[in-house]
Structure 1
């Protein structure tokens, strides 16, 4: 170390001391600090599954790749190069993003402990993850699955999975004490997960995950068909042990394959429930509470999906609104032509019985006019190939009639003025 370098570091330390920033009494290497962080910060305060995921990332990747660097010498270029190398080695974008999240969380703690002046992981750039295009089940596919699973011992669990969009661990962790038949409520409080090689029962994922759901008749029926065990899990093996999550998944996939049902993952059934609720017009806030999401954006952007039928219906409403708006403008100019029915010759008769033109167009576009075609003989008498082309013809017809009417008004006005002048001359 040169004299100039020593002088630079001394000046830096004096400047920090003047600002009241303490100097670390130990120059930590990143590997040693990550071990301390996992043991003293993560394990006592976070879920076991989170600690297991963080420990795996530290042990397999962060310590071997970055652990020899001291905290004070860890820089943005060093971390950026490490992350880029992981991507080049074939690691998925999401896996590398998780490594950055782990390192960022650890360095945030180091910054709070005043061991580093900034969190370099925050400045590392990674490309955005492209989410898989999930195609959840339709109503028909969900019904087909439940019918196929009726004879399976896990059928009640599958019913709750589809009805409420529960997480796999929440279904496995449901206790009889959380099932209130009298109050008709199902309380979601805990989950079962495999952590550290053993099945663990613990609280649900987030505070938002603690939720009360109304007990639907279908759910009540399948739950009452089981034999309750006081204080125990609602769903267990024959020996009373928690059901292995992987066995639950295997049963789900076996039913799909055996009955030719389009295969999705167990977690994507949760997407199916969210999308079905959306398609039924349930407000997004209610869907968020049912699924137990902490942020409504998660519900709308990740779990709810659209389809061509939904897009077609939405755009059809726009089309209908525009058509109705157009003909309402016409009605304001020529109310006699639009309010009254039109006969087979295309003539309009004031006071005739029947629906208004706009009402009939609306009913036809929405499908309500399928039983009343004989009433609208003139509308359906054309050889037009589509409703849209027929509407264009009708619009043209009324434009011509409107021009004729305006010309008639002008002619009448001119004639009245001429007559008034003739009368005045006679009086004079």
Structure 2
């Protein structure tokens, strides 16, 4: 076993300028004990010979305050060389000791070396968090393009800039917290820019959006998944992303456009227009004014006004289907005639067209619950039949230029629809109908609240809309239509009033004592 020794040294010189080193008389007191104030402690350690048997240069390091500190370095060297008995591994560990001392002025961590030896990793490699995130992402096979794009965005925009340079095995909770501190600072800038009249500040925030709690949770989930893979490969021992606390990312409640909320939104739109120094386009003011909730739902009466306005649009049947049966935008765009049975009055949701950046992607619904059979009402059956007749006329008019894509809803030449175009047309129709703004996806939420108003429970809502769990339905649709909530309040009051009347009757039978008439003691 290699040996190590400790000794004291100093920088004193002779009159001729030669270093005294360990021979300096000030290093020891008169009794021979080491001086507690002069010089510093050093250690020397003999490394194992090279594979060819030649001697390595010994390690000499110093500048330590105490002999115990020097002894601890020798102990660490012994621990490193005792990690494995394999001669090849031991030789690589020795080379790692020499390289680390030369480049980083420290000894390697024994536990880190032990883990790398155990898992067969390269002892010299020190992978950064950024390198590992990209390695992890490259290894994720079979991801949808949208999911892949989301992961890549989390890494490129939020994780890599803050923690990408940190060694993976040295990533700490405080480092991950710094990611979300940076997001909060960015959010503050965006909010200040929106409220400011400073053109330069507004330009800095142009095109950016505030990152909400739900997105923060998704960013953390991306990092947590990547670190989980690193733990399984024994590159790290702790998933620090799991220890970071974030504000709860609750699903936004669906709120209905009541008259009070509509009036407040109109006042906010006027303030928005006046705050702008230039002329505001109607659509910018329409969609740019803040709403009471990210998820706003029209009342059935408002939905009826929209459908009346959209009747003349060539995609009316698509909007009708979403409003009546709650399909997702991508599911409606991806519906094929092969999955429509108007005789039985059902459609099968098997495909969807989703927006991925500037393009589109066709594929199956992302969850098993999304693939479902939806029963149609007679009115919706008639609308889809009328749409098929109009599409046949378009096919005849297009002739050989018609693309027989097989989709129910298409462009005028039969091409599949771009979901973004469908949303843009929806907003235009809603603005023309002088209705408060909702997203096309909120038309689906409206279908859910109408189901509740019709007396159906959350289980029916879950199955009709293709939600993966009833919890999602509960979290999103507990804010039901005002008249439904009002009726539930009246029903509850009626029960209590009935109980009170029954109580009065029992009192007249002498079974209830009137405290006012009871004798005092």
| TM above 0.5 | yes
Matched, 1:174 2:271: no
Counterpart CA distance in 1 for 2:406 and 2:152 is: 32
1:150 corresponds in structure 2 to 311
Separation in structure 1 between the aligned mates of residue 469 and residue 184 of structure 2, nearest angstrom = 30
The 5 A counterparts of 1:9-408 are: 11-12=110-111, 22=119, 24-25=121-122, 26-41=125-140, 44-90=141-187, 91-94=210-213, 95-129=215-249, 131=252, 133=293, 134-225=295-386, 226=388, 227=391, 232-332=406-506, 334=508
Pairwise CA distance, 1:82? 2.2
| Alignment RMSD (CA, Å) | 2.7
Q: Answer whether contact 2:162 2:179 (CA < 8 A) is retained.
A: yes
Aligned pair in 2 of structure 1 residues 53, 305: CA closer, same or farther (>3 Å)?
Answer: same
How far apart are 1:208 and its partner, in Å? 0.6
1:89 match: secondary structure:
helix
Contact 2:452 2:480 in 1 (8 A): no
Q: Any runs of at least 4 consecutive aligned residues in structure 1 with deviations exceeding 4 A, and if so which? A: 1-11, 13-17, 228-231, 332-335
Greater percentage in helix: 1
TM (norm. structure 1) is: 0.71
Contact 1:275–1:304 (Cα < 8 Å) also in 2: no
Note closer, same or farther for the CA distance 1:281–1:173 as it changes in structure 2 (3 Å cut).
Answer: same
Q: Aligned in 2, Cα 1:303/1:321: closer, same or farther, shift over 3 Å?
A: closer
Higher mean alpha-carbon deviation, 216-225 vs 151-160, is at 216-225
The number of residue pairs the alignment matches comes to: 333
Mapped partners of 1:331, 1:244: distance in 2: 68
Distance 2:463 2:412 in 1: 34
CA–CA separation in structure 1 for the residues paired with 2:158 and 2:170: 19
TM-score, structure 2 normalization: 0.59
- Point out where structure 2 has 5 or more consecutive residues left out of the alignment: 1-60, 62-72, 81-107, 188-209, 253-291, 396-403
| Residue pair 1:274, 1:304 contacting (<8 A) in 2 also | no
Report the Cα distance in structure 1 between the residues aligned to 2:462 and 2:164, rounded to whole angstroms: 41
* Distance of aligned partners of 1:96 and 1:323 in 2 relative to their CA distance in 1, 3 Å threshold: closer
Instruction: Report the secondary structure of 2:343's partner residue.
Output: coil
Aligned mates of 1:231, 1:244 — CA distance in 2: 13
1:3 and 1:189 map into 2 onto residues whose CA distance is 67
User: Equivalents in 2 of 1:115, 1:167: separation in Å?
Assistant: 41
Cα contact 2:347–2:374 (8 A) shared by 1 = yes
Question: What SS does the corresponding residue of 2:297 show, helix, strand or coil?
Answer: coil
Alpha-carbon shift at residue 243 of structure 1 (Å): 1.3
| The 10-residue stretch of structure 1 (126-135 or 166-175) with the greater mean CA deviation from structure 2 | 126-135
Tell me, yes or no, if the aligned pair for 1:176 and 1:231 is still in contact at 8 Å: no
Structure 1 residues 16 and 115, CA gap change in structure 2 (3 angstroms): closer
* CA apart distance, 1:318: 1.8
